[in-house]
Amino acid sequence: MLATTAKQLTPDIILVQEPYVLEGKIEGLPSFWKSWLSKNNKAGIIALPSCNNPVFLFSSNEIVAIKIQANSSPFTIISSYSSPYSAIEHNLDGTHQLIHSLQGEDFLLGADLNAHSQTWGYSNTDTRGEKVSDFISSINGHLLNTKDAPPTFIQRDSKGWPDLSIASSSVLAVNSDWQVLDNIESYSDHKIISITINKDQHILKYNRFKTIFGGHKKFSTILKSKAHSILKRISDTVHPEDIDDLTVFIQQELNFACRKAYKLKKTPTTPTISWWNSNLETKKKEITALKRRAERSNGLVKTHFEIKAKMKLSIFKKEVLQAKRNSFKKNCSQENEAYGKFFKMAFQKTAPPTDIFSQINNDHNGSPLEIAQSILQSLYPITTDVTAQNTSSQPHNLEPPFTNKELKTIIKTLPNNKAPGNDGIDFIIIKQIFKSCPSILRNFFNKCLQFQRFPTSLKEGIIVLFHKKGKEPRNISSYRPITLLPTLGKLLEKLLLQRFNYYLEKNNKLHDQQYGFRQGKSVDLALSTLVSKLEEAKRKDLQTLFISIDIKGAFDNLQYSSIKNSIDKIATKSNITETLKDILNNRKVIIQTQIGPSSWPQTRGCAQGSCSGPAFWNLVADNILNADWPPDVHLQAFADDFAFVISHRTKKAFKN
């Protein structure tokens, strides 16, 4: 039957769950087909002759995997099955370890996990569904199933969507055509799912590398072998509109070198303690069956089933309680680490995306992508840019190119413990690039300066939500959005700001009473100045009013038009100022979900995690400090905190 269907569909690979197995082999296959099975024979992979050199990779009790070549890059195919009566954690943990061992290689997972979730078609979400959703998030996977797809399982009057297809990256997901073939006979309760993948496009996915544990020598060797082609690509870029393609190319090359040299960081999954077992599942179904019989019966028969259901329910509750206690005792006796599973469960700082979405999702319904989109819309509302056109006739100054000395000054101060952006390149890698081939960074940044463009891919920030202690979890304002930006972009920002701030300080362009985010200024100096003003008023026997103002959400609500206008107003137009202003164009924020990334344009506010945010705020705040205040008003600022000291001879004067 399968061979007949294969002639019609012409697949290269077939993933099967619960196949008919005879003597350790899938029955009914042509002799020239290759096949592999999991150890319990519940998951299988079949490779047809058209498949490009399949190689067996891995087999466990519920999982089997092979590796093939796709356009000169390795590609892993995984088939998995989890019985509804078994603990799904064993399957998910095994799959997670397998994917982690791939070191960032692309993969496709086809699994029958018997888990319910509204994300992939069911009307409800059960515990297994929540765990699968968290698993997809932990591997940065992307669910191919669509919410409105036909059922993948039909049996008599019941239907379901237990069969999941998960891709390793959003680009792979976009280049995959996934559909349920409900018009083709499968000779099974499960429908045939067709997945067509276009692997022509290079895929850059979000990885985190263990750079702190070594591998730098190998990275340096790989980078030096690629340096010539990277430098040639930089020099061959002659049009400003090509700077984005150049940036993506460099990110891809660096990411490739990292995957070859460093181990991947394993994304931590939420620790779980499973007390549910197949015996409890069976008894729960027995009670449900008795209740249904009671509903369909009358008289004494109805009473008989109701009494029997109550008796079994009483016993069931006791067994559930006992199972929980036994599980707790067992896990406590087996746990040897003081800061192990239980510590992480009690004190973890962040929650899985599904937990955050369920807490915030009190007024919103929909898929994780839709919920993430509503969160981004709430955090980053669209604002129309009304920047005034700079019609000044002043000449356009061209600053000289960046030098290795400037790069070295900044790079040696970069911290090693900052999380990278969506390209996975952290500051340790940046330091290794500069050490091995500084001309790559220098030439690339100078090309950006030449074109006065800040690359678009360096303006894409991954949003991580941290709950503010003591705040209502259901309110989106109770979460602090931290933006993970690409380190290449942060380094370019620092180079631009180093030149820009030097110009401002040298020419005394900033107000002397701004004490925040400036060299030679500090909170201690700000407090000393404030106290001196108060003491001076006291010596002169003046009535003094002190007002302190903290601007709520100052950085989050900063208007881009105000920043651009302030730059034009305070500084001479140059390639530095124009590149700085381009940082504010076409910004994008992204939340990773278990079915892919949700993106949204950022049209106002400085990202918490950017290098330019403090400098931009000072420019806008300078307009307040430079306002025409009365002579008896002293105003000073520390970042977004403003302090007024107003002194008069009499109290009556304050009313005027």
pLDDT tens string 543-587: 999 999 998 888 888 999 999 999 999 998 999 999 999 999 999
For residue 555, the 8-state DSSP code is T
Is 250 part of any domain? no
Q: What is the pLDDT of residues 484-499, one digit of tens each?
A: 999 999 999 999 999 9
Judge whether residue 324 has pLDDT over 90.
no
Give bridge partners of residue 411 from the DSSP assignment: none
397-422: per-residue pLDDT in tens? 899 999 999 999 999 999 998 989 98
Residue type, 544: T
Boundaries of domain holding 10: 1-203
- Tokens describing residue 214: 């070594």
Looking at residue 347, its pLDDT comes to 59
Distances 608 to 70, 327, 469 between C-alpha atoms, Å: 39, 42, 18
CA atoms of 205 and 372, how far apart (whole Å): 19
Residue 116's contacts (CB-CB under 8 Å, 6 or more residues apart) are 122, 124, 125, 126, 128, 129, 160
Pull the structure tokens for residue 182. 């409900």
Of 200, 14, 206, the residue nearest 110 (C-alpha): 14
Decide if pLDDT at 270 tops 60: no
For residue range 593-630, list pLDDT tens digits in order: 766 778 899 999 988 778 999 999 999 999 999 999 99
Confidence of residue 345 (pLDDT cuts 50, 70, 90): low
Does any domain span residue 188?
A: yes
Residue type, 427: F
Given a cut of 70, is residue 72 above it in pLDDT? no
Residues of the chain above pLDDT 90, percent = 52
Residue 82's pLDDT is 94
Is the Cβ–Cβ distance between 565 and 389 less than 8 Å? no
Q: Other C-beta atoms within 10 Å of 514: how many? A: 22
For 437-483, what is each residue's pLDDT tens digit? 999 999 999 999 999 999 999 999 999 888 788 888 778 888 888 89
CA distances from 169 to 1, 73, 248, 384, 552 (A): 33, 15, 16, 33, 37
Helices vs strands, H then E, count in the chain: 20, 22
pLDDT band at 340 (very low <50, low <70, confident <90, very high): low
Query: Does the structure show a pLDDT above 60 at 199?
Result: no
For residues 69 and 50, what is the distance between their CA atoms, to the nearest angstrom? 12
Asked whether residue 43 is assigned to any structural domain, the reply reads yes
When pLDDT is cut at 50, 70 and 90, the band that residue 55 belongs to is very high
Inside any domain, residue 66 = yes
Q: Is 342 part of any domain? A: no
**What is the average pLDDT value for the chain, to the nearest integer?**
87
Written as one letter, the residue type at 389 is Q
What is the structure's pLDDT at 6? 81
Q: What is the pLDDT of residue 341?
A: 61
Count how many Cα atoms sit within 13 Å of the Cα of residue 587 in the half-sphere of its side chain.
Answer: 27
Q: If you count them, how many residues does the chain have?
A: 656
Question: What angle do the packed helices 216-236 and 438-451 form, to 10 degrees?
Answer: 30
The residue type at 192: I
pLDDT at 320 over 50: yes
* pLDDT at residue 431 tops 80: yes
| DSSP string computed for 448-497 | HHHHT---GGGGEEEEEEEEPTTS-TTSGGGEEEEEE--HHHHHHHHHHH
d(CA 458, CA 212): 23
Cα separation, 151 vs 646, whole angstroms: 72
CATH code, domain carrying 152? 3.60.10.10
On the question of pLDDT at 394 being above 80, the answer is no
pLDDT band at 387 (very low <50, low <70, confident <90, very high): low
* Averaged pLDDT for residues 631-652: 91
Report how far residue 172's alpha carbon sits from residue 140's, in angstroms, rounded to the nearest whole number.
12
Contact 299, 335 (CB under 8 A): no
Give the per-residue SS3 of 282-309: HHHHHHHHHHHHHHHCCHHHHHHHHHHH
Q: Which residue has the higher pLDDT, 335 or 23?
A: 23
Given this model, what pLDDT does residue 202 score?
Answer: 41
Position 201 scores a pLDDT of 44
Measured from the Cβ of residue 242, the count of other Cβ atoms closer than 10 Å reads 16
Give domain status of residue 12, yes or no. Answer: yes
Residues forming a β-bridge with 185: none
Name the band, by pLDDT with cuts 50, 70 and 90, for residue 389: low
Q: pLDDT tens digit string along 224-252?
A: 999 999 999 999 999 999 999 999 999 98
Is 255 among the domain residues?
A: no
pLDDT at 204: 46
Angle at 246 between CA 204 and CA 221, to 5 degrees: 70
* Beta strands at 543-550 and 13-17: parallel, antiparallel or unpaired: unpaired
Nearest to 435 by CA among 608, 223, 578, 620: 223
| Apex 379 CA angle, 376 and 385, nearest 5 | 95
Give strand pairing partners of 514. Answer: 637
* Predicted confidence (pLDDT) per residue in 349-367, tens digit: 555 555 566 666 555 566 7
Spatial neighbors of 647 by CB under 8 A, at least 6 apart, are 537, 540, 542, 543, 544, 545, 632, 634
Residue 227 counted as domain residue? no
Q: How many domains is the chain partitioned into structurally?
A: 1
Helix (H) or strand (E) holding 223: helix 216-236
CB atoms closer than 10 angstroms to residue 107: 23
E strand or H helix that includes residue 179: strand 176-181
Strand-pair category, 460-467 with 587-593: parallel
For the beta carbon of residue 166, count every other beta carbon within 10 angstroms.
25
Q: List, for residues 299-318, the tens digit of each pLDDT value.
A: 888 999 999 999 999 999 99
Under the banding of pLDDT at 50, 70 and 90, the label for residue 139 is confident
Alpha carbon distance 475, 379 (integer Å) = 11
Give the pLDDT of residue 464: 87
What pLDDT is attached to residue 395? 56
Taking the C-alpha atoms of residue 67 and residue 75, their distance in angstroms, rounded to an integer, is 6
Q: In this structure, is the dihedral angle defined by the CA atoms of residues 215, 218, 220 and 222, taken in order, positive or negative?
A: negative
